[in-house]
Amino acid sequence: MYICSNNNCWFTNIGEAFIDLGVKAIVHNLAKKDDAIHYACVSPMSNTYLPESASDRAFRNDAFYEPDVLFLAGMYATSEAFINDGSCITYEFAKELRKKGKQIAFIGVGGENYTDKEKSDVLRGMELLKPLFIITRDKKTYDLYSDYFECKKGLDCAFWLNDEYNPSGLEHKNYIVSTFNRSDEPLELTDREHYVHPWHFQYTLDESKTRYLSKNNLFVSDSPYEYLTLYANADKVYTDMVHATIPSLVYGTPVKYYQIDNRRDAFESLDYIHKDDEGFLYIDKRLLDIEKKQIEEYALKKLNEK
């Protein structure tokens, strides 16, 4: 059984890479229990990176690959993911696979706006795909769709990152990470000597990002592993990014999250995350591992039923 992960936009948002690496870890964990399971990945990003004049000649995954199950992980419970006019390549690929008798599964899936319009669009798309299973990444998504489809309340796939890559304990000089890519960095954190400032949206970094470019110790890479090494070994992390918070939690780095939007429910809805007196978050790794195993067991059961 070939499980194919639809890899997302790593170079437009490195947090998507953290999700995809988590999916890889999940499938490899499943394969340890069932050696018939194999992993592959595809990506529709050629259309994003090619100039418009050449985009109609982009390599199309659906013309070449036919996995037994397509895993869709991350922010797929959105209106954009289910645009029914042919412009959403992933949705078109998924529909073609279903016509051929293949299966679609959503794992660690969440929304963007959590509005009635978004819900309506998602329900219409889900009804067409009839997914093998839906595992949500947060309680808000579960509450929206569990009355319509069989759902399991689960976790963001980035919580599996340490199964795939764990650089904790690397010898290093002391440093603190401050990742504010969606809002202004708080004044009390600016101009600190040992602060590193990662930027997660590499593709759109240009001269207009003056507030970021004016900082010292800027960090940008095309490799998700370098970002993860930063978060795993930092003394502390301050951030407004969900996918800077989750890696920090997984690697045991104290992290203070500054609230931006509803996507934070991916970790705030977990009852085994604790906040200390200074506002830093920590996770109970034993309880996290228990939930991860329960999710894997559910996914394996559904895959064996197909």
User: What tens digit of pLDDT does each residue of 236-268 get?
Assistant: 999 999 999 999 999 999 999 999 877 899 999
The reported pTM is 0.95
Whether residue 113 is predicted with pLDDT greater than 80 in this model: the reply is yes
Return the higher-pLDDT residue of 286 and 83: 286
Report domain extents, the chain: 2-158+288-305, 176-285
pLDDT at 49: 86
Contact 15, 81 (CB under 8 A): no
Whether residue 43 is predicted with pLDDT greater than 90 in this model: the reply is no
Whether residue 110 is predicted with pLDDT greater than 70 in this model: the reply is yes
**Beta pairing class for 103-111 and 133-136:** parallel
pLDDT at 64: 85
Average pLDDT score over residue span 275-300: 98
Q: Give the neighbor-by-neighbor strand order of the sheet with 273-275.
A: 218-219, 195-198, 176-179, 237-239, 255-257, 281-283, 273-275
Whether residue 215 is predicted with pLDDT greater than 70 in this model: the reply is yes
Average pLDDT score over residue span 197-208: 96
pLDDT at 193: 84
CATH number of 2-158+288-305: 3.40.50
pLDDT at 84: 76
Per-residue pLDDT reduced to its tens digit, 70-102? 999 999 999 999 987 667 889 999 999 999 999
Structure tokens at 89: 């390549």
In this prediction, residue 3 has a pLDDT band, given cuts at 50, 70 and 90, of very high
Whether residue 62 is predicted with pLDDT greater than 80 in this model: the reply is no
Average pLDDT score over the chain = 94
CB-based contacts of 271: which residues, under 8 Å, 6+ apart? Answer: none
Closest CA to 70 of 27, 6, 24, 134: 6
Per-residue pLDDT reduced to its tens digit, 152-175? 999 999 999 999 999 999 999 999
pLDDT at 176: 97
